[in-house]
Structure 1
Amino acid sequence: MPVYTLQCPDCGHRFKGMVMAHTEPPREWACSNCGSRRAQPASGTKPEPHPWEQGTVKGCPCCSG
């Protein structure tokens, strides 16, 4: 499950977005701060594996759990 770092061009908010395994990333991302549907993967970043997939993390830092 890749986790993307996203940025909203309207309000500048950076946030994380997860894509379920064996699915395609959405064509449009919604900003979790202002609701804009123009958020895009942040420049210079690439998807990271979900911490649970690495087997070394308790809880879920990207989901605040």
Structure 2
Amino acid sequence: MGSGSDVTGVQWWKSSYSDFNSNCVEVAEIGDRLCVRDSRNAELGFLGFTRDEWTAFLEPVSGV
């Protein structure tokens, strides 16, 4: 798990389906990792995954 101090200058994205007041998962590319964090608790850090790990996660949940 990474910490908030690891992400200075990183661009985080969230789904266009998310509105201003909702709880969201944000995604960023940090080095060779795809990272996710809770938008309401960003100070708690993030989880980083390799592209292969991220693809293995997305395939069953997205129907790709």
Greater RCO (Cα-Cα under 8 Å, separation 6 or more)? 1
TM-score after normalising by structure 2: 0.29
TM-score after normalising by structure 1: 0.29
Q: Which structure carries more helix by proportion?
A: 2
